Amino acid sequence: MNRVRQQDLGTPASSSADTVKVEIDGLPATVRAGTSILRAARESGVDIPKLCATDSLKPFGSCRMCLVEVDGRNGYPASCTTPVEAGMKIRTQTEALSKLRRNVMELYISDHPLDCLTCSANGDCELQDMAGAVGLREVRYGFEGENHLDAPTDATNPYFQFDASKCIVCSRCVRACDEVQGTFALTIQGRGFASKVSAGISEDFLDSECVSCGACVQACPTATLMEKSIVENGQPEHSVKTTCAYCGVGCSFVAEMRGDQVVRMTPDNDGQANHGHSCVKGRFAWGYSTHRDRVLSPLIRDRIDEPWRKVGWDEAIQYTAKRFREIQAEHGRKSIGGITSSRCTNEEVFVVQKLVRAAMRNNNVDTCARVCHSPTGYGLKQTLGTSAGTQPFDSVMDADVIMVIGANPTEAHPVFASQMKRRLREGAKLIVVDPRQIGLVKSAHIKAEHHLPLLPGTNVPIINSLAHVIVAEGLIDEDYVQARCDTDSFVAWKAMILKPENSPEEVAKISGVPADDIRAAARLYGSARRGAIYYGLGVTEHSQGSTMVMGMANLAMATGNIGFSGCGVNPLRGQNNVQGSCDMGSFPHELPGYRPVQDDAVRGTFEKHWGVTIDPEPGFRIPNMFDAACAGRYKGMYIQGEDVAQSDPDTLHVEAALRSMDCVVVQDLFLNETAKFAHVFLPGTSFLEKDGTFINAERRINRVRPVMKPSQGKDEWLITQELAQALGYPMNYENAAQIMDEIAELTPTFSNVSFRFLDEVGSVQWPCNANAPMGTPIMHIDNFVRGKGLFIETDYVPTEERTNRKFPLLLTTGRILSQYNVGAQTRRTDNMVWYNADLLEVHPSDAEMRGIREGDLVSLSSRKGDISLVATITDRVKPGVVYTTFHNPETGANVVTTEHSDWATSCPEYKVTAVQIAPATHRSEWQHGFDENAKRQGKILETS
Ligand code: SF4
Ligand code: SF4
Ligand code: SF4
Ligand code: FES
């Protein structure tokens, strides 16, 4: 069995385009200028011993293991901190060097427990390897003197331990936390012999600033910082490269296994989205995939108040097909449909939309992206011509000014946030547009130049006002606009933007952001050489979400900030495969590749390939499905991996819709909230069992490889295929690779993509076709995909959701690092130690006015419903705004959110709800009902 061995070349690669020739141990070598001698030697196959150096960190030069001799130089320079020079003659192996290295190693070992054979790192320890490499056989100094062998172990972190007795104080962990993660949680305390690694003054890891990203564990060359899963289970025996199944960063990992058990997920140094970094979720929170709550047999029941019956796969599929056929016979062809999941692979999504179009014979397919980034698809397509972000993540390293709007990268896209913070520490300037003081506004060595804490719902006036200043003060890139954009639309946009209502003074009245701050932020972005916009759901989940996306695209075009590295308009996608689920044709009006279902030629291509006639009429969007269900016109749906009863807005309406249907089919890992209303439960597979691809926020197609067999006995695409067959449509893939081949054949932007190609190149960003055989990292380089960039007027239309005397506060929502989306995965991991209940953030003045103190239970009511949750008093939110997360189903955050949605895409307006809060003595009625329901659900399972 194979084990992926990640290479460590000692120091980071040089970015120089020049090369120099040197001689290493008598052999010629050509390397990039600026490369360290250590790296140059390793690139040439010569392993100089090292301890404090690793290629993810700047060289430090503390351990003195990597000494070399250089002709014409006195002494023994450290090869990790000495760059090569043309003509250098370097010797790495001499008698004198061996002696020096042995002496250094002897000192380390004399203060290190000699328990290698029983140590968890045995066989995977650089100290052990280096002792062997320098030929150390005995230690002359003995262990009698002062030492650290009794230093305590800090095991407070749920995922890794810190065994101080094994620490060699090489500082790799400290530097990893600073340079790679950017949290600055660790320090070396004390000096000389007394120096030791510390996670804070008298703090253990759990109570420190540490965010459990694992970078220090990864960097540690000894067993000091070590994953508990390795301590408990032993070293891995084999491994497989795959992709994280949490957020849209799409980090690559090496899944390390013992037998068929995962013992560690190690971030892949070759991962082009993460470059060897990770966050707590991908690195450690994978235990849900084998959690005891997973349902491993199909379940059916005739009515939702009946107990579930365990059945075999055939029975479940035949039962589903029969009920769907009966519904269509009675209520018509369009009375059923399906929802695809952004958590599933492209291949799994593709077959579900094909099932709906080819087997159900309608276009009633939608995706959970409807409720997050559908305005991105619409807004960027209208203005630029493609429903996707413009840049690779690495582009941020070339940005001079970074504007983050309605996104909280340190919590929701942590690995990208670390990269962005690195660029900010290098000197790029930051503008944050967000109602809350998110972590980026002020954190270790980072301070935003401008934070515009706008009132929820006022994104559009703010972007218009930023543009107003930029136009009024002549900061437009006229040459760029003339050359690349539609000038008529530009003229019209400029006239709209210059209207007095878009002036900072007027917008200040609506948004609550001082005019001077708007003006200063506009000048900073407008004068940037390379200005980049990153945004999230705080942009899209509004009644004017699409308008705001177009507003940002307008601004980027007007300032000439699209088409090269360091700029662009970049959506930070929430889930792992939001981009892919949209690309795969999950929207009711679009076939794969965003091609209109109403277009005869497009339909013709698919009809020919699929051997069916495709309905030319677009189907229902998710909210239309629920409305039609309540009206008795929509009776059955197949829901792939989405928990609509928890994640969609206006819970009571969603529950009523689900309850009114005759056949709800849920395909998921766990009996989620939606399953309470389901008649069929089809167990899904975890990412560790999937074979396919995910597409991240930068359009990167990453391979997802199975590390174990599906524990419920069936690949998910096969479940869908068998249902299609049972409905009478012949779907006959033999494996997931064949599905990708069909996607490539039918989707022009994917025509070069195949599993084999991805296995060869690692990953690729679409479009990947004859015009761009190796993919397209940056979009719109010479021309916009639509030809000329189109400016679209973005007049402000206030949301209908208004505050009044009864509901005077605005509720907005977001995520936290340790939890993920509806929490189905992370709530089944040790991440619960950090955050096990959704809290309501309230500003001190709003709290005082209502007699609410820290930790009080409060009721939160809106026009839609009431819930209660625990308050935390903080000035992260401004007066008049309250904030919560939505990770726990029992919170019912969506009981209070409304039916308002984006005018263009129906994306719900999660981010603006008028509410009132008050001290509470008991949980809300809805929550009480939830508890009862949960108990019943549990009992039913036990007796079934
Ligand atoms: S914990 Fe590991 S990485 Fe950190 S100083 Fe000690 S040995 Fe080095
Ligand atoms: S786990 Fe990450 S945040 Fe925590 S100390 Fe290590 S590097 Fe820093
Ligand atoms: S940043 Fe996102 S993709 Fe990367 S490890 Fe964390 S959750 Fe996974
Ligand atoms: S590896 Fe060069 S001094 Fe430690």
- Interval 200-222: pLDDT, tens: 776 899 999 999 999 999 999 99
Contacts of 249 (CB under 8 A, 6+ apart): 273, 274, 393, 413, 414, 415, 416, 696, 697
Ligand nearest to the CA of 79: 4
Q: How far is the CA of 121 from the centre of ligand 1 (A)?
A: 13
Q: How far is the CA of 81 from the centre of ligand 4 (A)?
A: 8
Ligand 2 neighbours, Cβ below 6 Å, are 176-177, 181, 183, 185-186, 210-216
Specify the range with the lowest mean pLDDT, choosing from 75-84, 479-488, 534-543: 534-543
Specify the range with the lowest mean pLDDT, choosing from 154-158, 432-436, 921-925: 921-925
In ligand 1, the atom with minimum distance to the C-alpha of 188 is 5
With a 6 Å cutoff on the Cβ, whether 415 touches ligand 3 is yes
With a 6 Å cutoff on the Cβ, whether 41 touches ligand 4 is no
What pLDDT does residue 456 have?
93
Cα–Cα distance measured from residue 930 to residue 229, given in angstroms and rounded to the nearest whole number: 35
Residue 207 CB: number of other CB atoms within 10 A? 11
Please report which residue ranges of 20-149 form alpha helices under DSSP H.
Answer: 37-43, 95-109, 126-133
Q: How far is the CA of 352 from the centre of ligand 3 (A)?
A: 26
Contacts of 13 (CB under 8 A, 6+ apart): 32, 35, 39, 55
Q: How far is the CA of 405 from the centre of ligand 1 (A)?
A: 37
Cα–Cα distance measured from residue 861 to residue 66, given in angstroms and rounded to the nearest whole number: 64
Is residue 826 within 8 A of residue 887, CB to CB? The reply is yes
Please give the order of strands across the beta sheet that includes 700-704. 692-695, 700-704, 763-765
Grade residue 621 by pLDDT with cuts at 50, 70 and 90: very high
Residue-wise pLDDT for 739-789, tens only, equals: 999 999 999 999 999 999 999 999 999 999 999 999 999 999 999 999 999
With a 6 Å cutoff on the Cβ, whether 217 touches ligand 1 is no
Give the sign of the dihedral formed by CA 31, CA 32, CA 36, CA 39.
Answer: negative
Q: What is the DSSP letter of 614?
A: P
Q: How far is the CA of 584 from the centre of ligand 2 (A)?
A: 37
Residue whose CA lies nearest to ligand 1 atom number 7: 167
Residue whose CA lies nearest to ligand 4 atom number 3: 61
Is residue 887 within 8 A of residue 822, CB to CB? The reply is yes
Coil, helix or strand at residue 582: helix
Quote the tokens at residue 338.
């399906």
In ligand 2, the atom with minimum distance to the C-alpha of 199 is 5
Cα–Cα distance measured from residue 75 to residue 659, given in angstroms and rounded to the nearest whole number: 80
In ligand 1, the atom with minimum distance to the C-alpha of 162 is 1
pLDDT higher than threshold 70 for residue 245: yes
In ligand 4, the atom with minimum distance to the C-alpha of 10 is 1
Closest CA to 554 of 503, 479, 490: 490
Q: What is the mean pLDDT of residues 857-877?
A: 93
Contacts of 11 (CB under 8 A, 6+ apart): 35, 36, 38, 39, 53, 55, 58, 59, 80
Ligand 1, pocket-test mutation among 108, 126, 187, 220, most atoms within 8 A of CB? 220
Please report which residue ranges of 435-486 form alpha helices under DSSP H.
Answer: 459-472, 478-484
With a 6 Å cutoff on the Cβ, whether 80 touches ligand 4 is yes
Please give the order of strands across the beta sheet that includes 238-243. 238-243, 252-258, 261-267
Is residue 88 within 8 A of residue 23, CB to CB? The reply is yes
Specify the range with the lowest mean pLDDT, choosing from 146-150, 328-332, 343-347: 146-150
Residue whose CA lies nearest to ligand 2 atom number 4: 210
Q: How far is the CA of 177 from the centre of ligand 2 (A)?
A: 5
Q: How far is the CA of 80 from the centre of ligand 1 (A)?
A: 18
Residue 11 CB-density burial (10 A; 0-12 exposed, 13-18 middle, 19+ buried): buried
Q: How far is the CA of 171 from the centre of ligand 1 (A)?
A: 6
Ligand 2, pocket-test mutation among 159, 167, 186, most atoms within 8 A of CB? 186
Cα–Cα distance measured from residue 308 to residue 298, given in angstroms and rounded to the nearest whole number: 9
User: To which H or E segment does residue 383 belong?
Assistant: helix 374-383
What pLDDT does residue 142 have?
59
Residue whose CA lies nearest to ligand 4 atom number 1: 50
Q: How far is the CA of 101 from the centre of ligand 4 (A)?
A: 11
Cα–Cα distance measured from residue 78 to residue 74, given in angstroms and rounded to the nearest whole number: 12
Q: How far is the CA of 274 from the centre of ligand 3 (A)?
A: 8
Ligand nearest to the CA of 36: 4
In ligand 2, the atom with minimum distance to the C-alpha of 215 is 7
pLDDT higher than threshold 70 for residue 145: no
What pLDDT does residue 942 have?
47
With a 6 Å cutoff on the Cβ, whether 353 touches ligand 1 is no
Q: How far is the CA of 174 from the centre of ligand 2 (A)?
A: 8
In ligand 2, the atom with minimum distance to the C-alpha of 217 is 6
Residue 588 CB-density burial (10 A; 0-12 exposed, 13-18 middle, 19+ buried): buried
What pLDDT does residue 827 have?
87
In ligand 2, the atom with minimum distance to the C-alpha of 214 is 1
What pLDDT does residue 940 have?
46
Contacts of 72 (CB under 8 A, 6+ apart): 89
Q: How far is the CA of 177 from the centre of ligand 1 (A)?
A: 12
Pairing verdict, β 857-862 and 866-873: antiparallel
In ligand 3, the atom with minimum distance to the C-alpha of 278 is 5
Strands (E), 341-441: 365-367, 401-405, 429-433
Is residue 753 within 8 A of residue 766, CB to CB? The reply is yes
Q: How far is the CA of 117 from the centre of ligand 4 (A)?
A: 26
Q: How many alpha carbons fall within 13 Å on the CB side of residue 46?
A: 21
Question: Mean pLDDT across the chain, nearest whole number?
Answer: 92
With a 6 Å cutoff on the Cβ, whether 37 touches ligand 3 is no
What pLDDT does residue 939 have?
45
Q: Which residues of 355-388 are buried (b: 16+ CB within 10 A; e: fewer)?
A: bbbbbbbbbbbbbbbbbbbbbbbbbbbbbbbbbb
In ligand 4, the atom with minimum distance to the C-alpha of 79 is 2
Of the chain, the percentage scoring pLDDT greater than 90 comes to 77
With a 6 Å cutoff on the Cβ, whether 704 touches ligand 3 is no
Cα–Cα distance measured from residue 394 to residue 696, given in angstroms and rounded to the nearest whole number: 13
With a 6 Å cutoff on the Cβ, whether 225 touches ligand 1 is yes
Residue whose CA lies nearest to ligand 1 atom number 4: 173
pLDDT higher than threshold 90 for residue 371: no
Quote the tokens at residue 349.
């999504």
pLDDT higher than threshold 70 for residue 937: no
Is residue 586 within 8 A of residue 340, CB to CB? The reply is yes
Ligand nearest to the CA of 186: 2
Q: What is the mean pLDDT of residues 869-897?
A: 89
Closest CA to 914 of 814, 841, 807: 807
Of the chain, the percentage scoring pLDDT greater than 70 comes to 97
Ligand 3, pocket-test mutation among 181, 243, 244, most atoms within 8 A of CB? 244
Place of tokens 């007699």: 851
In ligand 2, the atom with minimum distance to the C-alpha of 160 is 1
With a 6 Å cutoff on the Cβ, whether 514 touches ligand 4 is no
Coil, helix or strand at residue 351: helix
With a 6 Å cutoff on the Cβ, whether 279 touches ligand 3 is yes
Largest distance between two CA atoms of the chain: 92
Angle at 735 between CA 342 and CA 749, to 5 degrees: 55
Q: Can you state the angle between helices 346-354 and 716-726, rounded to 10 degrees? A: 10
Closest CA to 273 of 310, 233, 243: 243
With a 6 Å cutoff on the Cβ, whether 67 touches ligand 4 is no
Q: What is the mean pLDDT of residues 716-737?
A: 97
Q: What is the mean pLDDT of residues 100-114?
A: 85
Grade residue 144 by pLDDT with cuts at 50, 70 and 90: low
With a 6 Å cutoff on the Cβ, whether 220 touches ligand 1 is yes
More confident: 388 or 22? 22
Backbone angles phi, psi at 61, to 5 degrees: 70, 40
Contacts of 117 (CB under 8 A, 6+ apart): none
Q: How far is the CA of 253 from the centre of ligand 3 (A)?
A: 10
With a 6 Å cutoff on the Cβ, whether 842 touches ligand 4 is no
With a 6 Å cutoff on the Cβ, whether 78 touches ligand 4 is yes
Strands (E), 105-260: 153-154, 160-163, 187-189, 196-198, 225-227, 238-243, 252-258
Q: Can you state the angle between helices 622-630 and 651-659, rounded to 10 degrees? A: 60
What pLDDT does residue 779 have?
92
Cα–Cα distance measured from residue 718 to residue 696, given in angstroms and rounded to the nearest whole number: 24
Q: What is the DSSP letter of 390?
A: S
pLDDT higher than threshold 90 for residue 476: yes
Q: What is the mean pLDDT of residues 718-736?
A: 97
Residue whose CA lies nearest to ligand 2 atom number 7: 177
pLDDT higher than threshold 90 for residue 675: yes
Is residue 199 within 8 A of residue 216, CB to CB? The reply is no
With a 6 Å cutoff on the Cβ, whether 343 touches ligand 3 is no
What pLDDT does residue 927 have?
78
What pLDDT does residue 117 have?
81
Residue-wise pLDDT for 588-615, tens only, equals: 999 999 999 999 999 999 999 999 999 9
3-state helix vs strand vs coil in the chain, percent to 5: 35, 20, 45
With a 6 Å cutoff on the Cβ, whether 173 touches ligand 1 is yes
Q: How far is the CA of 272 from the centre of ligand 4 (A)?
A: 27
Ligand nearest to the CA of 271: 3
Which of the listed ranges 133-137, 154-158, 886-890 does the model predict with the highest average pLDDT? Answer: 154-158
Q: Hey, which residues does 266 pair with through a beta bridge?
A: 254
With a 6 Å cutoff on the Cβ, whether 267 touches ligand 3 is no
What pLDDT does residue 943 have?
40
Q: How far is the CA of 276 from the centre of ligand 3 (A)?
A: 11
Q: How far is the CA of 109 from the centre of ligand 1 (A)?
A: 14
More confident: 721 or 904? 721
With a 6 Å cutoff on the Cβ, whether 282 touches ligand 3 is yes
